[in-house]
Chains A and B, each alone.
Chain A
Amino acid sequence: MTMAATHHDTSVETAAPPTRKQPDRTALLLAPGVLWMLLFLVAPILMMVYVSFWTQTTFKIEPTLTLKSWVAFFSSETYLGALWTTIRIWLIVLVSTLLVGYPAALFVGLFVKNKTLSTALLVLCVIPFWTSFLIRVLAWRPMLGKEGAINMILMKIGVITQPIEVLLFSELSVIIGMTQIYCVFMVGPIAFMLGRIDPSVIEAAQDLGAGFWRIFRTIILPLSMPGVVVGAIFVSVMVLGEFATSAALSGRKVNLLGNIIVTQVGSLKWAFAAVAGVVLTILMGAVVAALLRVVDLRKEL
């Protein structure tokens, strides 16, 4: 017995080809990540899909499968309204972060020739994150409010006679707030891609006779598209899942899917929350898939 065991051991030792080590190591390196994702991302999402078909009564939820919550979601004004508001705000914020972020990225990534300076400027963009979300929201109120700084100044110089009320507790304030918070996620990737453009490529275009706007349209914009797509994915995923900014700046007037989920969970309506969660997840997946089709990222990066 002992003999056999020893024999077995050595044969394994010698028979094992050196290449077998490779897949072993791959599996070992990937295992923690994959396990983590399965346990805490894939399983909960599947669970959420499952729960969305459970039966919800006022006080409890039972694992009896039904379509009731789904029907309720898609026949309710409130929920469909929230879905529409989410999509609308997402689109507006996406466009406004692009409009504010692209010129900033263009400056940081292309016009600032000094690499140290451009890195420093990118770090500056992150400074808003040195304060907490709550403090920033708190700070916007005296700025945007009815008696806030903007209204005061506009009244003083006589541009308006009545304070503009939509500045705070409206969709506009939510859009202003979100653009401010998420702009840097647009600037970063675009500035990175612009920084990788060889300056002599732009000089070559100049030398061939093209003016600035032509060069921008035919060279700079196409070469920065991967950055735009990555930035758009960052912003989209974060804005679609938002609830805090709208809660703090809209005075409960703007309800996003995220806010619906928060209230439903708060009132223990798990099945409804799960339906909203599944809808939101599908929406995000569709948006990311659509954005990825714009540019072949694997080829460009």
Chain B
Amino acid sequence: MPSLAAFARPADCEAFREKSGPELVGTEVTSVLQLKNVHKAFSGVPALAGVDAALSENSYVSLLGPSGSGKTTLLRVIAGFDQPDGGEILFAGKRIDSIPPHERGIGFVFQNFALFPHLSVAQNIAFGLSNRAVDPVTDTKIVAAKVRDMIGLVGLSGLEDRAVTQISGGQKQRVALARTLVTEPSMVLLDEPLGALDANLRTRMRGELRTIRERCGVTFLHVTGSETEALAMGDTVLVLDRGRIAQSADAGTLYSRPASADVARFLNCYNIFPGAVSGDAFESPVGRLALGGTRLTSGKQAYAIRYDRVAIRPRDAAAAGDEVRIEASFVASEYSGAAINSFFTLDDGRVFEVETHLSHAAPEAFEEKARYALVWKREDALVFD
């Protein structure tokens, strides 16, 4: 079955595929945080337009959304820094809307870390333990012991007495996390915690965040604008779009069954055509695309085909009966590690992207401006209507 090779899964998905096992089966997991129709507007402009979500205990949840979709606003409302205009927030079954932030027991890791600039690494981490209003730890020995354990957990040993202005970005990130974790919050909110780090460190910290979370056993809600980060890290991925949760699913489901064309667009791995279903085909600007794939109900009609499900063939190659074929001119290719992404322009000027995995085929040299046939199986397409 050589043709299947071209439809292989991208490397990015491998990471989440392993872990999306047991949770799916649906053992009764209690939700630690519930949001019911949460609203928030800034001077009349809605930032959150009715958010509904339930986060299960002891899990890693990522919140994916484009810039301005209300991610930070949602976290600030959950932490209590901003008041929602309406709706309910339940934490461990209790309403917390009117409880001040310092009594909520929810940790917040800021995007810019927000470390206390005049304190050392150890003092930063000890801050919450000795200064909290509820049940502060007054025994300095206990504080020191807890701080030492936490420093070990996040891998900051040796930097205890360093000023936080004199450590690297990745180390600051760990201090920010340790400072929150040491207070043993029932939940941790992380606002783009890896955004300030360089690409290398980001990949390494992904793994570390997951490991640290597993050791602490609390729920992490991790906000990110990067679809790969959201898919790789979250046991559950929430997609926020224009102040609403557009989808809440495990990474595997989200990736292969996005709930709408907009969600598919955020995932950045689907070619999407507008148009409408008519008869046994989808009427799109590039022609009639025969139906046969998964039909999904969503507000807007669209046809989506994943980058890695498309094969590039010479123009004269014929399509099999169960395939859809369009023509396009080749523009350029781009290597991205184990895959190569090829860009084509369709007849209506639209850009079409194809992802080919190098483990399955040697890279082919395509001729610029030459026309090729782009072919995929009918059943691989998603049709939203």
Complex contact A205–B131 (CB within 8 A)? yes
Complex contact A201–B131 (CB within 8 A)? no
Q: Give the tally of cross-chain contacts (CB within 8 A).
A: 71
Which of A204, A207, A214: most chain B Cβ within 10 A? Answer: A207
Complex contact A210–B114 (CB within 8 A)? no
- For residue A206, CB closer than 8 A to chain B, the reply is yes
Q: How far is the CB of B219 from chain A (nearest CB, A)?
A: 16
Q: How many residues of A contact B (CB 8 A)?
A: 18
CA–CA, A176 and B136, complex, Å = 43
Which residue in A198, A200, A205, A211 is a CB contact (below 8 Å) of B127? A205
CA–CA, A75 and B81, complex, Å = 64
- For residue B84, CB closer than 8 A to chain A, the reply is no
Q: Which residue of B lies closest to A214 (CB)?
A: B131
Please name all residues of chain A whose beta carbon is closer than 8 Å to the beta carbon of B110 when the two chains form the complex.
200, 203-204
Complex contact A208–B128 (CB within 8 A)? yes
Interface residue stretch chosen among A59-67, A151-159, A178-186, A217-225: A217-225
Please name all residues of chain B whose beta carbon is closer than 8 Å to the beta carbon of A18 when the two chains form the complex.
none
Q: Which residues of A contact B (CB under 8 A)?
A: 198, 200-201, 203-211, 214-215, 218-219, 222-223
Residue-by-residue, is B77-91 near A (CB-CB < 8 Å gives 1, otherwise 0)? 001010000000000
Please name all residues of chain B whose beta carbon is closer than 8 Å to the beta carbon of A208 when the two chains form the complex.
102, 107, 127-128, 131-132, 179-180, 183
Residue-by-residue, is B98-135 near A (CB-CB < 8 Å gives 1, otherwise 0)? 00111100111010101111100000000110011110
CA–CA, A208 and B110, complex, Å = 12
Which residue in B79, B81, B128 is a CB contact (below 8 Å) of A210? B128
Complex contact B81–A209 (CB within 8 A)? no
Please name all residues of chain A whose beta carbon is closer than 8 Å to the beta carbon of B106 when the two chains form the complex.
207
Complex contact B117–A210 (CB within 8 A)? no
A207 and B127 contact, Cβ closer than 8 Å, known pairs A201-B114, A214-B133, A223-B117: no
Residues of chain B in range 32-81 having any CB-CB distance to chain A below 8 Å: 79, 81
Q: Which residue of A lies closest to B104 (CB)?
A: A207
Query: 8 A-B residue contacts at CB 8 Å?
Result: A200-B112, A201-B117, A203-B101, A204-B114, A205-B127, A206-B101, A209-B102, A211-B102
Residues of chain B in range 122-164 having any CB-CB distance to chain A below 8 Å: 127-128, 131-134, 136
CA–CA, A208 and B180, complex, Å = 7
A209 and B134 contact, Cβ closer than 8 Å, known pairs A218-B127, A223-B117, A223-B118: yes
Complex contact A207–B116 (CB within 8 A)? no
Q: How far is the CB of A111 from chain B (nearest CB, A)?
A: 15
Please name all residues of chain A whose beta carbon is closer than 8 Å to the beta carbon of B81 when the two chains form the complex.
203, 206-207
Complex contact B131–A218 (CB within 8 A)? yes
CA–CA, A223 and B118, complex, Å = 7
Complex contact B118–A210 (CB within 8 A)? no
Complex contact A219–B116 (CB within 8 A)? yes
Which residue in A200, A209, A223 is a CB contact (below 8 Å) of B131? A209
